[in-house]
Structure 1
């Protein structure tokens, strides 16, 4: 069964897109700050913009070698950090999810603006007929 979405006006949709931009900015800032803090502490994580998509840059997160990880490099430290459910893999997944969420929010805002433009264009076309 299809959902019905009601839009009162193009201006209302643009206002909602502006709010969505604010959510994008907040999420993006939070994830970037977390990444930068972890990196300063020696986490072997790398986040690289991979181009642009919509109004946000896509970011790819991966692990790198660190000469100074914030955990011990003995057997216990290696067990903590490595493996599919180790700290490094979980950190990469968490940060990738955060960057992806921010990008998705930016794309939502862009889509909302495009929908508002389409709605306004349809209204203007109808008014001329």
Structure 2
């Protein structure tokens, strides 16, 4: 089916790791969990592929943020407020745009917890 193009772009590529942000080993965007596929006839598969290629597909509710591979790093990752977006996964999905609240609702303190005493 119609796969959108992906050129390797990743979040914060215009910043310098270890200087402007702390890099984390992030979970894989594609192939991390088994994929499920809706079985379609060849005709319907081609029709869906053409639809994806010809139209702009927008999701009004998806979560694009990638989290650290090591769950124990979640709080530090979120506290640093440099969320990584899964552009590779977005390209594989066939979507063109997504409305996402990013860190909205995660309620992580913006003050270093170690400084709170």
Name the TM tier (shorter chain): under 0.3
Q: TM-score, normalised by structure 2?
A: 0.25
Select the structure that is richer in helix: 1
Select the structure that is richer in strand: 1
Q: TM-score, normalised by structure 1?
A: 0.24
